[in-house]
Chains A and B, each alone.
Chain A
Protein backbone atom coordinates (compact mmCIF):
# COMPACT_ATOMS: atom_id res chain seq x y z
CA UNK A 1 0.00 0.00 0.00
CA UNK A 2 0.93 3.55 0.15
CA UNK A 3 3.95 4.65 2.08
CA UNK A 4 1.95 6.81 4.45
CA UNK A 5 -0.04 3.78 5.54
CA UNK A 6 3.15 1.89 6.00
CA UNK A 7 4.49 4.64 8.17
CA UNK A 8 1.58 4.42 10.53
CA UNK A 9 2.28 0.75 10.95
CA UNK A 10 5.85 1.28 11.86
CA UNK A 11 6.57 2.59 15.34
CA UNK A 12 10.14 3.17 14.23
CA UNK A 13 8.95 5.93 11.96
CA UNK A 14 6.75 7.68 14.47
CA UNK A 15 8.58 10.98 14.06
CA UNK A 16 7.42 11.12 10.46
CA UNK A 17 3.82 11.29 11.55
CA UNK A 18 4.45 14.75 12.88
CA UNK A 19 4.37 15.86 9.27
CA UNK A 20 0.85 14.66 8.69
CA UNK A 21 -0.58 17.58 10.60
CA UNK A 22 2.27 19.84 9.77
CA UNK A 23 2.23 23.38 8.55
CA UNK A 24 2.17 22.53 4.88
CA UNK A 25 -0.95 24.34 3.89
CA UNK A 26 0.18 26.34 0.89
CA UNK A 27 -1.90 24.30 -1.50
CA UNK A 28 -5.10 25.21 0.22
CA UNK A 29 -4.31 28.87 0.50
CA UNK A 30 -6.55 31.28 -1.30
CA UNK A 31 -6.03 34.75 -2.63
CA UNK A 32 -7.76 36.95 -5.18
CA UNK A 33 -6.90 35.78 -8.64
CA UNK A 34 -5.33 38.43 -10.78
CA UNK A 35 -4.65 38.07 -14.43
CA UNK A 36 -0.99 38.42 -15.01
CA UNK A 37 0.35 40.35 -17.89
CA UNK A 38 3.64 39.02 -19.12
CA UNK A 39 5.75 41.83 -20.38
CA UNK A 40 9.40 42.27 -20.85
CA UNK A 41 10.59 44.20 -17.89
CA UNK A 42 13.94 44.97 -19.38
CA UNK A 43 13.79 48.62 -18.52
CA UNK A 44 12.67 48.08 -14.99
CA UNK A 45 15.25 45.37 -14.55
CA UNK A 46 18.00 47.58 -15.81
CA UNK A 47 16.85 50.34 -13.55
CA UNK A 48 17.10 47.94 -10.66
CA UNK A 49 20.61 47.19 -11.76
CA UNK A 50 21.31 50.72 -12.59
CA UNK A 51 20.47 52.62 -9.51
CA UNK A 52 22.86 52.23 -6.71
CA UNK A 53 22.54 49.41 -4.27
CA UNK A 54 21.19 51.68 -1.59
CA UNK A 55 18.27 52.64 -3.78
CA UNK A 56 17.40 49.35 -5.42
CA UNK A 57 18.21 46.69 -2.91
CA UNK A 58 16.13 47.72 0.05
CA UNK A 59 13.09 47.06 -2.08
CA UNK A 60 14.34 43.69 -3.27
CA UNK A 61 15.47 42.83 0.23
CA UNK A 62 12.07 43.75 1.62
CA UNK A 63 10.36 41.59 -0.97
CA UNK A 64 12.60 38.64 -0.10
CA UNK A 65 11.88 39.11 3.57
CA UNK A 66 8.16 39.20 2.83
CA UNK A 67 8.57 35.91 0.95
CA UNK A 68 9.97 34.46 4.14
CA UNK A 69 6.60 35.31 5.70
CA UNK A 70 4.80 33.39 2.96
CA UNK A 71 3.71 36.58 1.21
CA UNK A 72 2.88 35.35 -2.27
CA UNK A 73 2.39 38.81 -3.69
CA UNK A 74 5.99 39.53 -2.76
CA UNK A 75 7.17 36.53 -4.76
CA UNK A 76 5.16 37.74 -7.70
CA UNK A 77 6.61 41.21 -7.38
CA UNK A 78 10.11 39.74 -7.28
CA UNK A 79 9.29 37.76 -10.40
CA UNK A 80 7.94 40.81 -12.19
CA UNK A 81 11.04 42.79 -11.42
CA UNK A 82 13.75 40.19 -11.70
CA UNK A 83 12.66 37.36 -13.96
CA UNK A 84 13.87 38.95 -17.20
CA UNK A 85 17.26 39.67 -15.73
CA UNK A 86 17.56 36.23 -14.15
CA UNK A 87 16.25 34.44 -17.23
CA UNK A 88 18.77 36.32 -19.35
CA UNK A 89 21.57 35.14 -17.08
CA UNK A 90 20.28 31.57 -17.13
CA UNK A 91 19.86 31.60 -20.89
CA UNK A 92 23.37 32.85 -21.41
CA UNK A 93 24.74 30.11 -19.15
CA UNK A 94 22.66 27.21 -20.43
CA UNK A 95 22.18 28.30 -24.08
CA UNK A 96 18.84 26.52 -24.14
CA UNK A 97 15.53 28.18 -23.42
CA UNK A 98 14.05 25.05 -21.85
CA UNK A 99 16.99 24.66 -19.50
CA UNK A 100 16.98 28.36 -18.71
CA UNK A 101 13.29 28.16 -17.84
CA UNK A 102 14.02 25.20 -15.56
CA UNK A 103 16.77 27.16 -13.88
CA UNK A 104 14.55 30.17 -13.20
CA UNK A 105 11.75 27.87 -12.08
CA UNK A 106 14.00 26.07 -9.61
CA UNK A 107 15.50 29.37 -8.51
CA UNK A 108 12.13 30.93 -7.65
CA UNK A 109 11.13 27.82 -5.73
CA UNK A 110 14.42 28.11 -3.85
CA UNK A 111 13.83 31.82 -3.28
CA UNK A 112 10.40 31.05 -1.86
CA UNK A 113 11.72 28.30 0.38
CA UNK A 114 14.97 29.89 1.42
CA UNK A 115 13.91 33.50 1.78
CA UNK A 116 14.29 33.25 5.54
CA UNK A 117 17.98 32.53 5.09
CA UNK A 118 18.56 35.83 3.28
CA UNK A 119 20.37 38.17 5.62
CA UNK A 120 20.42 41.74 4.30
CA UNK A 121 23.25 42.55 6.67
CA UNK A 122 25.49 39.95 5.10
CA UNK A 123 24.87 40.40 1.42
CA UNK A 124 22.84 42.44 -0.97
CA UNK A 125 19.64 41.14 -2.46
CA UNK A 126 20.77 41.34 -6.06
CA UNK A 127 23.79 39.16 -5.54
CA UNK A 128 21.71 36.71 -3.51
CA UNK A 129 19.23 36.31 -6.36
CA UNK A 130 21.89 36.20 -9.06
CA UNK A 131 23.89 33.64 -7.13
CA UNK A 132 20.95 31.28 -6.72
CA UNK A 133 20.37 31.37 -10.46
CA UNK A 134 24.02 31.05 -11.39
CA UNK A 135 24.74 28.13 -9.09
CA UNK A 136 21.66 26.29 -10.27
CA UNK A 137 22.52 26.94 -13.93
CA UNK A 138 26.15 25.98 -13.49
CA UNK A 139 25.15 22.79 -11.71
CA UNK A 140 22.94 21.88 -14.66
CA UNK A 141 25.48 22.67 -17.34
CA UNK A 142 28.25 20.83 -15.49
CA UNK A 143 26.00 17.82 -15.21
CA UNK A 144 25.32 17.89 -18.90
CA UNK A 145 28.96 18.45 -19.70
CA UNK A 146 28.23 20.91 -22.40
CA UNK A 147 29.86 20.53 -25.73
CA UNK A 148 30.86 24.08 -26.21
CA UNK A 149 34.58 23.76 -26.36
CA UNK A 150 34.81 23.40 -30.09
CA UNK A 151 31.51 24.45 -31.56
CA UNK A 152 29.31 27.49 -31.56
CA UNK A 153 31.60 29.82 -29.72
CA UNK A 154 29.38 32.61 -28.48
CA UNK A 155 30.19 36.17 -29.11
CA UNK A 156 32.95 37.42 -26.94
CA UNK A 157 31.55 39.61 -24.27
CA UNK A 158 34.35 42.09 -24.87
CA UNK A 159 33.19 42.51 -28.43
CA UNK A 160 29.63 43.24 -27.39
CA UNK A 161 29.66 47.01 -27.38
CA UNK A 162 26.88 47.22 -24.83
CA UNK A 163 28.04 44.51 -22.50
CA UNK A 164 30.72 46.19 -20.48
CA UNK A 165 29.04 49.53 -20.93
CA UNK A 166 26.09 48.11 -19.03
CA UNK A 167 28.36 47.66 -16.10
CA UNK A 168 28.78 51.35 -15.71
CA UNK A 169 25.40 51.77 -14.13
CA UNK A 170 25.95 51.44 -10.42
CA UNK A 171 28.60 52.33 -7.91
CA UNK A 172 29.55 48.70 -7.42
CA UNK A 173 29.65 48.10 -11.12
CA UNK A 174 31.75 51.18 -11.77
CA UNK A 175 34.33 49.91 -9.30
CA UNK A 176 34.28 46.42 -10.74
CA UNK A 177 34.57 47.76 -14.27
CA UNK A 178 37.51 49.91 -13.28
CA UNK A 179 39.21 46.99 -11.54
CA UNK A 180 38.58 44.63 -14.45
CA UNK A 181 40.31 47.24 -16.55
CA UNK A 182 43.44 46.85 -14.47
CA UNK A 183 43.69 43.16 -15.34
CA UNK A 184 45.63 41.91 -18.29
CA UNK A 185 43.34 41.26 -21.23
CA UNK A 186 43.63 37.47 -21.06
CA UNK A 187 42.77 37.38 -17.35
CA UNK A 188 39.85 39.75 -17.85
CA UNK A 189 38.56 37.55 -20.63
CA UNK A 190 38.79 34.46 -18.43
CA UNK A 191 36.84 36.10 -15.62
CA UNK A 192 34.13 37.24 -17.99
CA UNK A 193 33.88 33.91 -19.81
CA UNK A 194 33.65 32.16 -16.47
CA UNK A 195 31.06 34.43 -14.92
CA UNK A 196 28.90 35.20 -17.92
CA UNK A 197 29.20 32.00 -19.94
CA UNK A 198 29.82 29.60 -17.09
CA UNK A 199 33.05 28.11 -18.39
CA UNK A 200 34.92 25.91 -15.94
CA UNK A 201 38.68 25.84 -15.53
CA UNK A 202 38.97 22.99 -18.00
CA UNK A 203 36.55 24.55 -20.47
CA UNK A 204 38.55 27.77 -20.34
CA UNK A 205 41.69 25.80 -21.01
CA UNK A 206 40.09 24.14 -24.02
CA UNK A 207 38.53 27.31 -25.36
CA UNK A 208 41.62 29.44 -24.98
CA UNK A 209 44.12 26.65 -25.78
CA UNK A 210 45.98 27.31 -22.55
CA UNK A 211 47.24 24.62 -20.15
CA UNK A 212 44.83 23.91 -17.31
CA UNK A 213 47.39 24.81 -14.66
CA UNK A 214 47.94 28.18 -16.28
CA UNK A 215 44.21 28.82 -16.34
CA UNK A 216 43.89 28.00 -12.66
CA UNK A 217 46.77 30.20 -11.62
CA UNK A 218 45.56 33.03 -13.87
CA UNK A 219 42.08 32.90 -12.36
CA UNK A 220 43.47 32.97 -8.85
CA UNK A 221 45.76 35.82 -9.73
CA UNK A 222 42.89 37.71 -11.35
CA UNK A 223 40.66 37.20 -8.32
CA UNK A 224 43.37 38.31 -5.93
CA UNK A 225 43.96 41.45 -7.97
CA UNK A 226 40.25 42.19 -8.21
CA UNK A 227 39.80 41.81 -4.50
CA UNK A 228 42.69 44.10 -3.72
CA UNK A 229 41.45 46.67 -6.22
CA UNK A 230 37.90 46.55 -4.84
CA UNK A 231 38.90 46.90 -1.22
CA UNK A 232 37.86 50.25 0.15
Chain B
Protein backbone atom coordinates (compact mmCIF):
# COMPACT_ATOMS: atom_id res chain seq x y z
CA UNK B 1 0.00 0.00 0.00
CA UNK B 2 1.32 3.33 -0.94
CA UNK B 3 1.62 6.07 1.59
CA UNK B 4 0.71 8.79 -0.86
CA UNK B 5 -2.44 10.48 0.50
CA UNK B 6 -4.29 10.29 -2.82
CA UNK B 7 -3.41 6.64 -3.20
CA UNK B 8 -4.57 5.95 0.35
CA UNK B 9 -7.82 7.74 -0.34
CA UNK B 10 -8.41 5.83 -3.58
CA UNK B 11 -7.59 2.61 -1.77
CA UNK B 12 -10.28 3.54 0.74
CA UNK B 13 -12.59 4.20 -2.20
CA UNK B 14 -11.96 0.84 -3.83
CA UNK B 15 -12.55 -0.85 -0.48
CA UNK B 16 -15.82 1.03 0.05
CA UNK B 17 -16.88 0.24 -3.52
CA UNK B 18 -16.19 -3.43 -2.86
CA UNK B 19 -13.98 -4.27 -5.85
CA UNK B 20 -11.03 -5.60 -3.88
CA UNK B 21 -10.45 -9.32 -3.60
CA UNK B 22 -10.52 -10.90 -0.17
CA UNK B 23 -6.81 -10.61 0.50
CA UNK B 24 -6.74 -6.96 -0.53
CA UNK B 25 -9.85 -6.18 1.52
CA UNK B 26 -8.34 -7.94 4.53
CA UNK B 27 -5.23 -5.83 4.11
CA UNK B 28 -7.29 -2.64 4.15
CA UNK B 29 -9.24 -3.83 7.20
CA UNK B 30 -5.98 -4.58 8.96
CA UNK B 31 -4.68 -1.12 8.14
CA UNK B 32 -7.95 0.45 9.31
CA UNK B 33 -7.45 -1.16 12.70
CA UNK B 34 -4.47 1.05 13.37
CA UNK B 35 -5.04 3.98 11.03
CA UNK B 36 -7.82 6.35 12.09
CA UNK B 37 -7.32 8.49 8.99
CA UNK B 38 -7.97 5.50 6.78
CA UNK B 39 -11.13 4.72 8.75
CA UNK B 40 -12.33 8.26 8.19
CA UNK B 41 -11.52 8.00 4.49
CA UNK B 42 -13.43 4.73 4.16
CA UNK B 43 -16.42 6.16 6.02
CA UNK B 44 -16.38 9.19 3.73
CA UNK B 45 -16.36 6.95 0.66
CA UNK B 46 -19.14 4.81 2.07
CA UNK B 47 -21.22 7.94 2.60
CA UNK B 48 -20.46 9.16 -0.92
CA UNK B 49 -21.46 5.88 -2.52
CA UNK B 50 -24.33 4.84 -0.24
CA UNK B 51 -27.01 6.64 -2.28
CA UNK B 52 -26.30 4.09 -5.03
CA UNK B 53 -27.97 1.53 -2.81
CA UNK B 54 -31.27 3.23 -3.56
CA UNK B 55 -30.91 1.88 -7.10
CA UNK B 56 -31.71 -1.57 -5.73
CA UNK B 57 -35.39 -2.21 -5.16
CA UNK B 58 -36.34 -3.21 -1.61
CA UNK B 59 -37.43 -6.81 -1.16
CA UNK B 60 -39.35 -8.17 1.82
CA UNK B 61 -37.11 -10.52 3.77
CA UNK B 62 -38.38 -13.99 4.69
CA UNK B 63 -40.87 -13.73 7.56
CA UNK B 64 -38.84 -15.93 9.88
CA UNK B 65 -35.74 -13.79 9.62
CA UNK B 66 -36.66 -11.48 12.47
CA UNK B 67 -37.18 -14.34 14.90
CA UNK B 68 -33.80 -15.74 13.89
CA UNK B 69 -32.19 -12.42 14.69
CA UNK B 70 -34.06 -12.21 17.98
CA UNK B 71 -32.90 -15.68 18.94
CA UNK B 72 -29.31 -15.12 17.89
CA UNK B 73 -29.02 -11.82 19.69
CA UNK B 74 -30.42 -13.34 22.85
CA UNK B 75 -33.48 -11.10 22.72
CA UNK B 76 -35.75 -14.02 23.43
CA UNK B 77 -38.53 -12.10 25.09
CA UNK B 78 -39.21 -10.19 21.90
CA UNK B 79 -40.25 -13.31 20.03
CA UNK B 80 -43.98 -13.51 19.68
CA UNK B 81 -44.37 -17.01 20.97
CA UNK B 82 -42.54 -20.00 22.32
CA UNK B 83 -40.63 -21.65 19.54
CA UNK B 84 -38.80 -24.91 19.40
CA UNK B 85 -35.64 -22.91 19.13
CA UNK B 86 -36.31 -21.03 22.31
CA UNK B 87 -37.26 -24.15 24.23
CA UNK B 88 -34.03 -25.76 23.09
CA UNK B 89 -32.25 -22.56 23.92
CA UNK B 90 -33.37 -22.66 27.51
CA UNK B 91 -33.20 -26.35 28.21
CA UNK B 92 -30.11 -27.78 26.69
CA UNK B 93 -27.41 -28.97 29.02
CA UNK B 94 -25.07 -27.10 26.74
CA UNK B 95 -26.08 -23.88 28.38
CA UNK B 96 -25.86 -25.19 31.91
CA UNK B 97 -22.39 -26.44 31.16
CA UNK B 98 -21.05 -23.16 29.96
CA UNK B 99 -20.34 -19.95 31.74
CA UNK B 100 -22.83 -17.19 31.35
CA UNK B 101 -20.35 -15.25 29.34
CA UNK B 102 -19.50 -17.98 26.92
CA UNK B 103 -23.21 -18.50 26.57
CA UNK B 104 -23.82 -14.96 25.49
CA UNK B 105 -20.90 -14.95 23.13
CA UNK B 106 -21.95 -18.21 21.57
CA UNK B 107 -25.54 -17.03 21.43
CA UNK B 108 -24.60 -14.55 18.79
CA UNK B 109 -24.35 -17.23 16.19
CA UNK B 110 -25.86 -20.26 17.80
CA UNK B 111 -29.42 -19.72 16.68
CA UNK B 112 -29.04 -21.16 13.26
CA UNK B 113 -27.15 -24.15 14.51
CA UNK B 114 -30.07 -25.33 16.55
CA UNK B 115 -32.51 -24.95 13.72
CA UNK B 116 -30.73 -27.09 11.20
CA UNK B 117 -28.99 -30.40 11.09
CA UNK B 118 -25.26 -30.06 10.65
CA UNK B 119 -24.42 -29.99 6.98
CA UNK B 120 -21.24 -30.13 4.97
CA UNK B 121 -21.59 -26.41 4.45
CA UNK B 122 -21.53 -25.83 8.18
CA UNK B 123 -18.90 -23.44 9.38
CA UNK B 124 -17.57 -22.72 12.81
CA UNK B 125 -17.57 -19.17 14.02
CA UNK B 126 -16.94 -17.40 17.27
CA UNK B 127 -17.20 -13.81 18.28
CA UNK B 128 -14.50 -12.86 20.70
CA UNK B 129 -15.49 -10.27 23.25
CA UNK B 130 -13.72 -8.54 26.09
CA UNK B 131 -14.50 -9.43 29.67
CA UNK B 132 -16.89 -6.96 31.21
CA UNK B 133 -18.39 -5.62 28.00
CA UNK B 134 -21.01 -7.00 25.66
CA UNK B 135 -19.25 -5.86 22.51
CA UNK B 136 -17.59 -8.34 20.20
CA UNK B 137 -14.16 -7.26 19.06
CA UNK B 138 -13.22 -10.06 16.70
CA UNK B 139 -14.97 -12.60 14.60
CA UNK B 140 -13.16 -15.90 14.24
CA UNK B 141 -14.16 -18.22 11.47
CA UNK B 142 -12.73 -21.64 10.68
CA UNK B 143 -12.15 -21.84 6.96
CA UNK B 144 -12.82 -24.94 4.89
CA UNK B 145 -9.11 -25.69 4.85
CA UNK B 146 -8.80 -25.52 8.63
CA UNK B 147 -7.32 -22.06 8.89
CA UNK B 148 -8.78 -19.62 11.34
CA UNK B 149 -9.61 -16.23 9.98
CA UNK B 150 -9.71 -13.59 12.69
CA UNK B 151 -11.26 -10.31 11.68
CA UNK B 152 -11.59 -7.27 13.90
CA UNK B 153 -15.18 -6.04 14.11
CA UNK B 154 -14.05 -2.84 15.69
CA UNK B 155 -10.93 -0.82 15.20
CA UNK B 156 -8.38 -2.37 17.52
CA UNK B 157 -5.93 -0.12 19.26
CA UNK B 158 -2.37 -1.08 18.46
CA UNK B 159 -0.77 -3.07 21.24
CA UNK B 160 2.00 -1.43 23.15
CA UNK B 161 5.55 -1.77 21.87
CA UNK B 162 7.19 -5.04 22.75
CA UNK B 163 3.86 -6.87 23.02
CA UNK B 164 1.94 -9.17 20.74
CA UNK B 165 -1.54 -10.64 20.72
CA UNK B 166 -1.59 -14.42 20.77
CA UNK B 167 -4.47 -16.68 19.83
CA UNK B 168 -5.24 -19.79 21.89
CA UNK B 169 -7.61 -22.68 21.51
CA UNK B 170 -9.02 -24.61 24.43
CA UNK B 171 -11.00 -27.62 23.16
CA UNK B 172 -13.97 -28.71 25.21
CA UNK B 173 -12.67 -31.03 27.90
CA UNK B 174 -9.08 -29.91 27.61
CA UNK B 175 -7.28 -28.34 30.51
CA UNK B 176 -4.50 -26.54 28.70
CA UNK B 177 -4.94 -24.11 25.85
CA UNK B 178 -2.85 -24.58 22.75
CA UNK B 179 -1.27 -21.64 21.01
CA UNK B 180 -2.45 -20.98 17.48
CA UNK B 181 0.18 -18.34 16.99
CA UNK B 182 0.72 -14.63 17.30
CA UNK B 183 -1.89 -12.52 15.57
CA UNK B 184 -1.00 -10.29 12.71
CA UNK B 185 -3.58 -7.50 12.46
CA UNK B 186 -5.57 -9.92 10.35
CA UNK B 187 -4.67 -13.36 11.54
CA UNK B 188 -4.62 -16.47 9.43
CA UNK B 189 -3.18 -19.50 11.09
CA UNK B 190 -2.88 -23.15 10.27
CA UNK B 191 -3.70 -25.02 13.45
CA UNK B 192 -4.49 -28.73 13.54
CA UNK B 193 -8.10 -29.05 12.59
CA UNK B 194 -9.19 -31.40 15.37
CA UNK B 195 -8.63 -28.61 17.86
CA UNK B 196 -11.23 -26.51 16.20
CA UNK B 197 -14.43 -28.36 16.93
CA UNK B 198 -17.64 -26.83 18.15
CA UNK B 199 -17.32 -25.56 21.73
CA UNK B 200 -13.60 -25.04 21.45
CA UNK B 201 -12.88 -21.84 23.29
CA UNK B 202 -10.76 -19.30 21.47
CA UNK B 203 -9.01 -16.55 23.35
CA UNK B 204 -6.57 -13.80 22.67
CA UNK B 205 -4.02 -12.84 25.29
CA UNK B 206 -1.52 -10.04 25.53
CA UNK B 207 1.96 -11.53 25.45
CA UNK B 208 5.57 -10.47 25.10
CA UNK B 209 6.62 -9.84 21.53
CA UNK B 210 6.76 -13.13 19.66
CA UNK B 211 4.30 -14.84 21.96
CA UNK B 212 4.23 -16.50 25.33
CA UNK B 213 7.42 -18.30 26.27
CA UNK B 214 5.74 -20.58 28.80
CA UNK B 215 3.49 -22.52 26.44
CA UNK B 216 0.43 -21.08 28.14
CA UNK B 217 -1.11 -17.60 28.29
CA UNK B 218 1.17 -15.52 30.49
CA UNK B 219 -0.57 -12.18 30.09
CA UNK B 220 -4.18 -11.12 30.48
CA UNK B 221 -6.77 -12.74 28.26
CA UNK B 222 -8.29 -9.76 26.51
CA UNK B 223 -10.98 -11.40 24.39
CA UNK B 224 -12.54 -14.81 24.19
CA UNK B 225 -15.39 -16.75 22.70
CA UNK B 226 -16.57 -20.22 21.87
CA UNK B 227 -16.71 -21.79 18.42
CA UNK B 228 -20.25 -22.48 17.36
CA UNK B 229 -21.42 -24.19 14.19
CA UNK B 230 -23.36 -22.02 11.79
CA UNK B 231 -24.88 -23.38 8.65
Contact = CB atoms under 8 A, between A and B. Distances in A.
A76 B66 CA distance: 8
B58 A84 contact: yes
B65 A112 contact: no
Given A4-B97, A88-B59, A108-B69, A15 B220 contact: yes
Interface residues of A, number: 111
A113 B60 contact: no
A130 B72 contact: no
Given A4-B97, A117-B154, A204-B19, A109 B69 contact: yes
A192 B47 CA distance: 15
Nearest to B108: A109
Contact of A40 (B46, B58, B174): B58
B173 A35 contact: no
A223 interface: yes
A73 B112 CA distance: 22
A223 B59 CA distance: 29
B21 interface: yes
Nearest to B63: A38
Interface string B5-38: 0100110011011111110010000000000000
Interface in B65-82: 65-66, 68-69, 72-81
B18 A127 contact: no
B99 interface: yes
Given A113-B135, A130-B46, A192-B52, A27 B74 contact: yes
Contacts, number: 299
Interface residues of B, number: 92
B43 interface: yes
A87 B59 contact: yes
A142 B22 contact: yes
Contacts of B17: 191, 194-195, 219, 223
A77 B54 CA distance: 20
Contact of B174 (A3, A172, A204): A3
A209 interface: no
Interface in A36-81: 36, 38-42, 45-46, 49-50, 70, 72, 75-76, 79
A27 B99 contact: no
B190 interface: no
Contact of A4 (B6, B99, B203): B99
Interface string B93-121: 00001111111110111001000000000
A130 B54 CA distance: 10
Contacts of A92: 56
A15 B131 contact: yes
B19 A199 contact: yes
A12 B72 contact: no
B84 interface: no
A126 interface: yes
A27 B76 contact: yes
- Interface core residue of A25, A41, A134 (most chain B CB under 10 Å): A134
Contacts of B193: none
A57 to B, nearest CB: 10
A146 interface: no
Contacts of B146: none
Interface string A80-97: 000111011101100001
Interface string A179-205: 000000000000110111011111010
Interface of B: 6, 9-10, 13-14, 16-22, 25, 40, 43-63, 65-66, 68-69, 72-81, 89, 97-105, 107-109, 112, 127, 131-136, 153-155, 170-177, 199-201, 203, 216-218, 220-221, 224, 226
6 cross-chain pairs, A with B, having the tightest CB-CB distances, nearest first: A19-B101, A24-B104, A127-B50, A26-B74, A173-B51, A84-B58
